[in-house]
Structure formats: structure tokens, C-alpha cells
Structure 1
Amino acid sequence: MKQLTQASPPRAADLENPLYYLENMETVLGWVLTHHRDLLTAEESIQLDRFFHLSPAARALLTRMVMRTGDLFRVDKLSYPEIGVPEAEAISELVQGHWLDNSPLLSLDDLFRLFTLGDLRNGFARVLADLGQPKTVSKGRMRDLLAEAFSEPRLLTDWPGDGYGPVARVWGMDLFERIRLMFFGNLRQSWPDFVLVELGHQRYEEVAFEPESRAFQRREDVDNYLAMHQCRERLDQGMPANEVWPMVPDATDNPWLAGRRDRLLLELGRQAERQGERELALAAYTAVNHREARLKQLRLLERMKRFEEAWRLALSWQQKRDSAANEAEVQGMERIIKRLAVKVGAPVPEIPERPSLEEWTLSLPKPDSLSVEIAVRDHLTTEQAPVAYVENTLINGLFGLLCWQAIFDPVPGAFFHPFHVGPVDLTREDFVARRQALFDQCFGALDRGDYRERILQTWDTKEGIANPFVIWPALTRELLEVAMDCIPADHLTAIFKRLLGNIREHRSGFPDLIRFYPQAEAVDNRYEMVEVKGPGDRLQDHQVRWLEFFAEQGIPASVCYVRWQEDGAVDASGESG
């Protein structure tokens, strides 16, 4: 019998072990039984305990079946030599232990999924002949012809023909789905994401996992998630939005689940719009506490010609807008308000002018193999002014190292198991609010000036541990040190605050290069960020927004447009202007 122990943190199995997938499955089940047993029924808890009483071969075969799609299997197609015994022996143990049903009822669709066209033609030969169909009938055509006469499920032995191999059904697949949800925190990740993927190549931050930090506090929370998942599946399968709407669970007091419900309603609203159900779409958007829903609601009111209502809402939202508002939302709101002002006869509000960007051109010989960014880096680099190709890695890395403790704070719903690269609520709108005190401490270090020691100490103690902001291979301690020598703390503060305003969008779009001037007397002139654009390339919207922000804040940044010189001559100035 496998013994469950919790003396040490769970680890991913070594791929050298042929049964590594079983080790990983046992880790998942052991974790859930240790941390979520109170969310299981007594029967479910007993059933999972019984898993560990099976022989290793039976546990391994059951794991293989659970990892596959569906709950029905052709027994003669199960071949896993690494379990060490004949598959029939392990199957017999699983049947006796009530893990497998070796006489399941099969629908026509089940039969067609399990068996080949040749099997089906032989089995239904007499039926097809009676219907006047040729032996070469296609699988799809055969299924359509048989659907009415064979509409009820039946045992395999009761289907026409006798050439089918034995079939078994795994009992309790819904329990394994529930386990998967409680471990991963979602149903998007499949069993192979953990069971078949080697996780040992990464080191993970050890996060304290206490009962109060769980996203699921009650069994009803798990049921709620599963119901929402079923709604989303039905939408994806084409069920009309007005049929799914009554199935959506009521609002919940669980903030993490409330965010999931918002995303479900947002998708339901989109599909209702496409299906011409405008009132339903409006009701869905109105029920959503999400930035994206605001613009969708206003645009829909515009299309419905309810201009006065849209105008009042738009002005109300604009007045309540906070400084961390999504720039894309702000731009969209400004455009809508401008259109609505004309419709309701109100003065058109003035739109603030956008700052101009610093742009310059550099002519270079076209390199044989280097990227345009590397070519510009190599051209601009001097001993007095080194240039590094950093793109999104440097600023994100400095932020991730400074705010490590805040990022890995085990607030409810942030971590589900020990193998997270980062918190699962990282891109939620309330990510910062739930950790405000810790982020205040981080920015306090910038204000006091001891952020440098904090960042370097984190580098020394956490090097190599997965962090969603830190790309270790792209950074060196020396790069961090020169960056902190040259980038003023108030610039980092401004950049980090904008980054936190919308992590999903603002983690990218940083300029490609950074040029350092360590010997410059003026503190604000010791660096410059440079976005490189090769011939035919143009700035993307999120890059423009970062560059405009830099201009507003007085942070040195420019755009270098590169053109290739056919004669090999070089414009060696490399100066912005």
C-alpha cells in the first residue's frame, strides 16, 4: 500500500522513473486530501483513500485512463508495459475495487467513437443490407441511418454483431475532475499539464498554504465553479445565450469566483449580441464588474440609439475614473463621449493632446545575420556608454525582485499547489488592492533609497526560482547594478506604478535597448531607453502608450528608425534628435 506522508513539500517525479506519471498523480491526490478533504463528501474521501490501497500496477493503469479523453476505453487497446503486469490483471483488480465498470451501457455515439469503420460495417452488415445500403457506406452516413432505430443505450453484447472487443468505463471521472479543479484552480489545465510534464526543471517559490488562503472555502464554491464551467462549455458548443443565461449561478461573496463569473457574463454578453439578443447582452454587461464591460455596454447603448442613457453613464464613469485606469479604456471612453456629445447636443469635451515622441533615424549596413536590435546595440555601444538589449526583461526584473514578497503573498485564491510560477490572480483588477500594504512597503524602499540592497539581496537568495516578472537568463547582477546606478528611484517608482495599473498590458511594450551613461553628472541623464524599428516596422499601440508615458514623466526614451545603406556607409552619429 502506498503511504501518504506530508513531512516534506511535494515534488515532481523524476522522469527516469517509468511510473513518474503515477508519482505525480499521487502528489495531486495527496495534496487535495491534505488541504481540501473538508470539501469532499465522506464517500469521495473514502474512495480517494482507497486509491492508495491499490497495487502499483492498478494505480498506474487507472492514472493512464484518467489522463485520457473520455471515460470509455477499449480494453484490448490498453497497452502500458511499464506497469509490470498484464493489463488484464490490473483491470480485474480495478473492476473488483469498483473503479471500472466492465459492462457499461453504450450509446450509438459511444460505439462509433470506440470502434473503427471496419468494425462497425461488420457489426451492422445485416442491418445495412436490410436498409439497402452498400457495404462501403461512410461512417457518418451509417450513423445517421442508424440513429432513429438505435436511440437507446445498451450493453455491448446487445448491439448487432459480435466482433467488438471488450469495453470498460471508469467510475467517478467527475470526482477526478473535481480533484483537478481543486489542485490547478481551473479546468483549462489538463492532467498531462502536471502528470506528464516534467516540473523539476524549474524551482518554485515555497508559499505558505493555510486553510484561510484557499480559493475554495466551501464545497459550494467548487460546485459554483463547475456550474460556471459547464455554462462556458455550452456557449462554446453553440448553445444560444438566452438558454445559458438561466443556468448562470447567482452572484457569490467569494471574490475569486466573482471574477470568474464576470468573465463568463462578458462572454455570454458577446454571444448574445452576435445572436441579436441585445437586451440580454445589456443585462449581462450591466451585471459585470469589469472594465471591458463598460465600453461594451456603452457601444451597445449607442447601437440601440439610447444616447441619453449612454451619455449619463459615460460621464459618470469618467468622473469616477482612477489614475490607474486602462489607457485603452480611456481612449475608447473619450471617443464614445465625443460621439455621444454630438447626439445629445452637449459641448464636445476637449481631448488632451498627446505628448510628442522623440524620434531619430540611423543608417546602417544591413547585417548578414544579426537582428536589427542587436545591430543597433552593437553600433551604439561605447566604453563610456554601454548599451544592453533588454526589451521587457530589465524593468520587469527589477520590479519582480523588489516586490517579491508582495507577488508571492498567499492571499486567498492566489496559489493552489506548490508548482506555481506566480499567483493566479496576477492580472485581476484587485491584484494590488489585496496586497496594498506589501506594495506600499516596496515603494517605501524606493522613497527611502534602500531599494538597491533589497533588490540585490533578493537576487542573491532567490536566483533561479520562478517568478512571472523575472527572466533569469536575460539578467545579470552586473546589469541590475548599473541600471540602479543610472535610473533614478523616482523614475522606477513612476514606471512600477504604471506597471501595476494594468499588469496584463503593461508587462510588455518596453523599449528594446537601454543606453547607460554612468559618468554623467546629471542624475536624470545617466540613461536612455531606445525602441528600435527596422525598415517597414511601426510602433504598436502598447509601445506608443509607454513612450507617451515616458514623455509625460520626463523619462528619457526615444524611437530609432533604422534604414539599410546599400553602399555600406554608416551614419555614425548615433545621437537622438
Structure 2
Amino acid sequence: FLQGYVVSVPKRSLDAVPIQIVCQNSIFNGKKGCDEFEALHLWQKALQVVEFAKNRPPNTTKYQQNFCLLLKEVLTSSPHLFTKDEKKFIESFTSLSEDSQRLFVRLYTRKGPWFRLSTIMYPEICNPQQAVKELSATGYLCLFEDTTKLHDDEMKDLLSVLTVSELRDILCTLRKKCNQGSRKQNLIASLLSCYKGGSCLVLQRLILERTEICIRTSPEAESLFWRAERLFFLNGEQDLSAFLLVDLGIVKYPTYNCIILEQIFSNESDLLAYEEAIEVAQVIDQSLDENNFELVLRCIMIADSRISCCPEKLIDSTSPDLMAIFRSCFSASWVYSKVILLGISFLECERSPLKVISPYLYSGYALDLSVEPRYKDAIHLLRRLLDCFTCDTRRGYWTVRLSVDLEHIGCPNESLSVAEAGLLDPWVRAGSRMALQRRVLRLAKPPRRWKTPSFSESLKRKIIEVYIQGRPLNCEAGRKSRFYGEDGEQCGVEQLALQYYAREGGWQGVHTESGIWMTIFGLLMWDILVSDVPNVFRTRFQTAPLDMETDHFYLARKSLIEPHLQKIHDGLAEEILITSWELHMGTACRGVNWDQHSLSDLRAAVSCIRGPCLASLCRHLAQDYGSWSSGMPDLLLWRFHGDYKGEAKLVEVKGPRDQLSEQQRAWLLLLMDCGFNAEVCKVSTTGTSP
């Protein structure tokens, strides 16, 4: 048998525990308890455990393993995006001591940038002082010293590590005014003003006297590891916490194969341009929040000049590569297009004059700084977007905005021409197409146009309208309408409509807008979503393929999608739904909300919707998920007639002051074309039709 005991207690909590194992034969009732072979087998197993512990030390923390795995995979998959020195720097991380690795990851994932060394206490880090020395010597950390020259922003960050009492103490030492009730930010502002004015040369020494050693991750390390994170996750939302959520079982991602045949970024310059564009996008977001109008305009200038200088990067409209289209969201030009669109909204609404010495100039165009909304500037930028991005589903939205802005400045003929040209654009779809049709119909009257557009009859199609009366709780403009329900409780117009349909027709249902449909689509099309298509799954943390909102999704899987839709058409949707639910319950998937919709509700809805209708709806979503994944009717209703046969109805609910959007109108007409029973329920305080 085997005997073992602890030789000594380890000095540190996470150190290996030394044990001694003794293997010996035993005699029981005159017989050997185990033969030599069994004893040898047990001993070999014990040795294997010891060897495994050597190769994988038990004190390696999970977050440390995850960080090292991230770096390894990025260097393996994208070595061409780093210089020789950058790769050497990243590779050196795994050569650091265990304490140094853990301390760096801890600091990297915390909100800083500065930290007091005296406050860093983690049970898994045995010697933080020694780790700081190693990290500083290898360029991973920066230390704050009295001789360090700091910029104003850096000084502000450093002052933030002081307590309120310490800030007051420094102000008193400097004989500056300090009110007892001052908040921390006000105290920091007072000290910062002294530092900016150059009248406080001893401030750094005073800070050091109180904080002792302060540390932060080095700019080089931050930049490189931020890049590695973005390359690993391919978005700005996920970070190392994604590993933790999976490790804890909180989030589970779908099972799929990553078949990578092409790189997202072909070279380092493309990646650096993309990173620069992201920085500009972050600056304009912050500037809009802070009402820094001059900086907003500066960001618009930069974005405009960048997309103007790289036309070769944009997609050729004559023969578009559909795979290039879904990869384009990782280009600098795509990010700059988002910046410009923010700028357009700002210019269309901004009425505050800017105090500047001279107007901003870009591309030979003088930016209007008057107090009126700057529609001419917005028009200039919208034309730029339409000229540069010829294969983009956002073209419909841009074209509508351009046509509207042209009308605002008194150019109805040009507005009409833009709307007519937009209707010939294959990338103008859904609600945007309907909005342009309605604009053309309104503007194209004699003498501008004598011929009635061919689509005029389709716009006149009637959508069934139902009027119900509600007892209003409030009728204030700008606020969502509230009513008293049939039970006397307060409710919105959607809940009031649900009560009406339950009473009048025995309908059951949910108020979900697009939510329940996205869940049904995700469950019915699960196998299609995770099918083996090259380059669309690139990380282990995706909830959908990268091309899901592009034309590439349907065309690359058409041979799989159409047979699957035929099964739905033939009445197998409920069976597919149940199987998908049972196999994938709780797994994160784009559009699928496991908590909001129960399986019983989903089954009832699917069983009451005829197969041809459901197949047609799923086909539209597969062909253009980006255009059709929003704006669906508020209510999905169903009722059974016996023998498990039923019917479904979709209802868009509108309050007393609400109107249908073009996207909602487009959905209702599409649903009617697919064979659905769809209508609009208008809630009024009079109960009469207008």
C-alpha cells in the first residue's frame, strides 16, 4: 500500500506542498495485500502526477494562462503585423517570473493608469516589489520619480491616486485656498492649475512623499497588448474578461470550426491605419459628450481627408468581392465613415457659434461656422460617403439624408434627382427605399415630372388599421403615452393592445418587436449559422459569423439554406426549433434571447405560423439580415382552433401621437407579401377613426 505525509508547511500560500510517499507490500490473513505488479503500477501513477505538476505548476493562475494563450495565438496567426522588436518584446513576457506576469496582467486589466505600490496586495503575488523591479527593467512598467517630467494630463492622472485628505494637505503646504467641503475633483483642479502655471515646482516631490512608489504599465506595453487583444477578439467590446466568463460557465459560445484562409489585415500599415482611425472615433465620441465643438470639427476634417486619400482601399462597385465587403468593417476607411456620419448628425443639428480665428478648411471647402444648422457642410460629407463607399448597405440611409438636406436648403430639383438615383441603387433597401419612393412621389409633380412613377400604386397599398380606445394617464408631448389597463393598472399602448386582442379574439401573444423573430431565426437556422464557411469564424468568442449582416452570408450558404428552408416550408419548423433549443440551451448566439422567450411560447408561435410564411421570412433575413433585423411589428399574436391548428397575427401598435416609420411600413408590406396577417392598431383617447 501507499503511505504519504506532508514533509513541511510551505512558506507561501500558493507554493507547492512537499510530501513523501512510501510504497510497501502488506500482509492480510496470511496473503499479500497487493502483488508487486500492482504496487509498481501505483508507484508509476504517483510519479506521473509529480511529473505533471512539474510541467504545469499548480500556482499558475487562470487569468495568467489566458493572457499567455492570447499572446501566443496572436503571434502565431498574425506575425506579419508586428515588427521584429515588437515580436521579441511580446515573446519575452512568458520569460518573466510568475509574480511579474501576474502583476502585469492585474495592472493591465485595472483602471489606472497610476497605482501605488503600497496598495498592491494580491494573494497570488508573493513579492510585488521584486516583480516591479523586473517589469521596470524589461520595459513593461514605468515608475514615477521626482525627476520625471509629466504633461498636464499625466499629472492629473497621478493626482487621482491621492486621497482627499492628502490633496488638502498638499494645498495647505502650498498655502493655497482649500475649502473643507471641496470635492476631490475640485481639489485636483486647484493643484493642476498651479502645476500648469509653473508656480508649483515641488508638486511632484510632495506627491512622492505621500504615495512613495507609483507605477503604471508602459505606453509600449499598453499599445502592443491592446493591439494583440483587438486582433484576438476582432472588436472593441471583448477583453480578457471573456475568458473568465467562459471559465466560470457564465457564457458558452457556439461550437464551430475556424477555417482561416485569408488575413483580415494584409500588412502592418493597414492595421496601424485602422488603430489610428479608432483613436479618432474615440476622440469624437468624447468631444461630443463634452460639447467640445472645435475638436469635433477637427475629427471630421481628419476623417474626411483620410477617406479622400485612400480610394484604392474602397471596394470596386463594378465587380464587388462580397468577402471583401464583410472584411471592410476592419478597415480605417470604414471607421472614418462612422466618424463622418457622427459629424453629419452634429452639423445638421448644431446651432451654437464657434469662437475661432479662422474657418476650418478641408479639401478646398470652407466650413460654415454660422449659428444655423450647417446643412451645406452635411451635404458635402454625405456626397463624400456616397462617392467613396459604392457597395454598402448604409447607402440608403445616406441617400435619404442627402435628399432631405438638399430640400432643407431650398434645392427641391436636386433633392428629387438624388432620390430618383437612389432608387436605381441596388444597395438601397428596406425602409430607405420606401422613404425615397415616397419622396419621389411627393416631389415629382408637374412641372418637375409629368410621368407618374411606376411604384406609385404599391405605395398606396392599404394596411389594415384597428382603432381602440384607452383611458390616458398622461398626454404630455415628448413622453411615451401611458394608459389605464382593463385591470386598472398603468400600462403602455402595447400592453393595452394585448388586452384588447385577448378580449376580442382570444389571442395570446407577446410584445417583443424584433426580439422573438430574431430568436426564432437563430434557433431555426442554427446549423446554417455555424456551418463551415472559410474566414467567417476567426476566434473562439464569436456569437455569429462575421458575414451575417452582408450579402455574402446567403450566397456562400445558398446550397445549405434552401433545402433547410424547404423543410420549414413543409411544416418541420417546430421540430427543428425544439431540437435546436434542447441542444443549444444557454449558448450565446446573435439575436437569440434565452431568458425573454420560453420554449412553450416559441413553439406556440411557430406552430401557428404557416410553413410557407415562416420560410419566406427566414429567407429575407438570411439574404439581408442587416436591413431587416429591426423595425418588425410590436406584437406577435397567436390562437389555436383545435387539433393543434392555429393562426398568427402581427400588429404594429401606435399611440395617439405616433406615426409609422418607413422601416415599419416596409416590414408590414413585406409580411403581407409573405402571407402573414398583419395590421396596425391605433390607440386613441376617443375610440374613433381620424
Distance 1:402 1:528, change over 3 A: closer
- Answer yes or no: is the 8 Å Cα contact 1:25–1:195 preserved in 2: no
Q: In the alignment, which of 143, 147, 152 is matched to residue 102 of structure 1?
A: 143
CA deviation map 1:367-393 (0-9, x unaligned): 6699997898799779x9883547455
SS at match of 1:200: coil
**What's 2:450 paired with?**
347
Deviates more, 1:346-355 or 1:204-213: 346-355
Q: Specify the code of the residue in structure 1 equivalent to 2:384.
A: A
For residues 466 and 370 of structure 1, the distance between their equivalents in structure 2, rounded to whole angstroms, comes to 31
**What's 1:3 paired with?**
none
- Answer yes or no: is the 8 Å Cα contact 1:512–1:530 preserved in 2: yes
For residues 429 and 591 of structure 2, the distance between their equivalents in structure 1, rounded to whole angstroms, comes to 21
Q: What's the offset of the Cα at 1:414?
A: 3.9
For residues 303 and 43 of structure 1, the distance between their equivalents in structure 2, rounded to whole angstroms, comes to 55
Larger Rg computed on CA atoms: 2
For residues 402 and 485 of structure 1, the distance between their equivalents in structure 2, rounded to whole angstroms, comes to 13
CA deviation map 1:521-564 (0-9, x unaligned): 9x8xx302254869979686465554444344442245667899
**What's 1:61 paired with?**
103
For residues 331 and 169 of structure 1, the distance between their equivalents in structure 2, rounded to whole angstroms, comes to 54
Q: What's the offset of the Cα at 1:177?
A: 1.1
Q: In the alignment, which of 599, 621, 641 is matched to residue 499 of structure 1?
A: 621
For residues 178 and 568 of structure 2, the distance between their equivalents in structure 1, rounded to whole angstroms, comes to 79
For residues 74 and 134 of structure 1, the distance between their equivalents in structure 2, rounded to whole angstroms, comes to 27
Tell me, yes or no, if structure 1 residue 212 matches structure 2 residue 333.
Answer: no
Distance 1:231 1:61, change over 3 A: same
Q: What's the offset of the Cα at 1:173?
A: 0.7
Q: What's the offset of the Cα at 1:235?
A: 2.9
CA deviation map 1:83-116 (0-9, x unaligned): 2424323212322333223356422331232124
Distance 1:61 1:345, change over 3 A: same
- Answer yes or no: is the 8 Å Cα contact 1:385–1:517 preserved in 2: no
- Answer yes or no: is the 8 Å Cα contact 1:235–1:244 preserved in 2: no
- Answer yes or no: is the 8 Å Cα contact 2:605–2:648 preserved in 1: no
Q: Specify the code of the residue in structure 2 equivalent to 1:246.
A: S
Q: In the alignment, which of 292, 317, 339 is matched to residue 267 of structure 1?
A: 339
Q: What's the offset of the Cα at 1:492?
A: 0.9
Q: In the alignment, which of 188, 213, 233 is matched to residue 282 of structure 2?
A: 233
SS at match of 1:226: helix
- 1:314-393 residue pairs with structure 2 within 5 A? 314-321=419-426, 325-327=429-431, 329-338=432-441, 340-341=443-444, 345-347=448-450, 349=452, 351=456, 352-359=459-466, 361=468, 365-366=486-487, 387-389=508-510, 391=512, 392=514
**What's 1:174 paired with?**
223
SS at match of 1:83: coil
**What's 2:671 paired with?**
550
- Answer yes or no: is the 8 Å Cα contact 2:382–2:398 preserved in 1: no
CA deviation map 1:54-109 (0-9, x unaligned): 33332221112111345x42333542323242432321232233322335642233
Normalising by structure 2, we get a TM-score of 0.64
Any stretches of 5+ residues in structure 2 without a counterpart?
1-58, 180-185, 288-294, 316-323, 349-366, 369-376, 471-484, 686-690
For residues 340 and 562 of structure 1, the distance between their equivalents in structure 2, rounded to whole angstroms, comes to 31
Q: What's the offset of the Cα at 1:181?
A: 0.8
Tell me, yes or no, if structure 1 residue 165 matches structure 2 residue 212.
Answer: yes
**What's 1:255 paired with?**
325
The percentage of counterpart residues that share the same residue type is 18
Q: In the alignment, which of 627, 641, 649 is matched to residue 529 of structure 1?
A: 649
For residues 486 and 134 of structure 1, the distance between their equivalents in structure 2, rounded to whole angstroms, comes to 74
**What's 2:416 paired with?**
311
Deviates more, 1:171-180 or 1:61-70: 61-70
For residues 200 and 533 of structure 2, the distance between their equivalents in structure 1, rounded to whole angstroms, comes to 50
**What's 1:443 paired with?**
565
For residues 209 and 601 of structure 2, the distance between their equivalents in structure 1, rounded to whole angstroms, comes to 72
For residues 424 and 579 of structure 2, the distance between their equivalents in structure 1, rounded to whole angstroms, comes to 43
Distance 1:78 1:31, change over 3 A: farther
Tell me, yes or no, if structure 1 residue 245 matches structure 2 residue 304.
Answer: yes
For residues 588 and 576 of structure 2, the distance between their equivalents in structure 1, rounded to whole angstroms, comes to 18
For residues 470 and 424 of structure 1, the distance between their equivalents in structure 2, rounded to whole angstroms, comes to 16
- Answer yes or no: is the 8 Å Cα contact 1:408–1:423 preserved in 2: yes
**What's 2:37 paired with?**
none
Distance 1:162 1:508, change over 3 A: same
For residues 390 and 18 of structure 1, the distance between their equivalents in structure 2, rounded to whole angstroms, comes to 49
- Answer yes or no: is the 8 Å Cα contact 1:269–1:282 preserved in 2: no
Deviates more, 1:233-242 or 1:303-312: 303-312
Q: Specify the code of the residue in structure 2 equivalent to 1:235.
A: I
Tell me, yes or no, if structure 1 residue 113 matches structure 2 residue 157.
Answer: yes
**What's 1:568 paired with?**
none
SS at match of 2:255: coil
**What's 2:52 paired with?**
none
SS at match of 1:515: strand
For residues 304 and 652 of structure 2, the distance between their equivalents in structure 1, rounded to whole angstroms, comes to 48
Q: Specify the code of the residue in structure 2 equivalent to 1:227.
A: E
- Answer yes or no: is the 8 Å Cα contact 1:205–1:465 preserved in 2: yes
Any stretches of 5+ residues in structure 1 without a counterpart?
1-16, 565-577
Q: What's the offset of the Cα at 1:257?
A: 4.9
CA deviation map 1:251-270 (0-9, x unaligned): 53643453353453243155
Deviates more, 1:441-450 or 1:172-181: 441-450
Deviates more, 1:53-62 or 1:436-445: 436-445
Distance 1:99 1:320, change over 3 A: closer
SS at match of 2:450: coil
Q: Specify the code of the residue in structure 1 equivalent to 2:64.
A: L
Q: Specify the code of the residue in structure 2 equivalent to 1:170.
A: T
Normalising by structure 1, we get a TM-score of 0.75
Q: What's the offset of the Cα at 1:226?
A: 0.7
**What's 2:115 paired with?**
74
**What's 2:128 paired with?**
87
Q: What's the offset of the Cα at 1:207?
A: 1.9
SS at match of 2:131: helix
Q: What's the offset of the Cα at 1:487?
A: 2.4
For residues 308 and 374 of structure 1, the distance between their equivalents in structure 2, rounded to whole angstroms, comes to 45
SS at match of 2:589: coil
Q: What's the offset of the Cα at 1:179?
A: 1.0
- Answer yes or no: is the 8 Å Cα contact 2:430–2:627 preserved in 1: no
Higher RCO (CA-CA < 8 Å; seq separation 6+): 1
For residues 339 and 380 of structure 1, the distance between their equivalents in structure 2, rounded to whole angstroms, comes to 36
Distance 1:69 1:424, change over 3 A: farther
SS at match of 1:346: coil
SS at match of 1:68: coil
SS at match of 1:102: strand
CA deviation map 1:455-499 (0-9, x unaligned): 454344334322223333455666555555442221112322343
Q: In the alignment, which of 234, 242, 256 is matched to residue 185 of structure 1?
A: 234
Deviates more, 1:245-254 or 1:364-373: 364-373
Distance 1:78 1:345, change over 3 A: same
For residues 547 and 513 of structure 1, the distance between their equivalents in structure 2, rounded to whole angstroms, comes to 13
SS at match of 1:143: helix
How many residue pairs get matched?
Answer: 535
Q: Specify the code of the residue in structure 2 equivalent to 1:143.
A: L
Distance 1:245 1:413, change over 3 A: farther
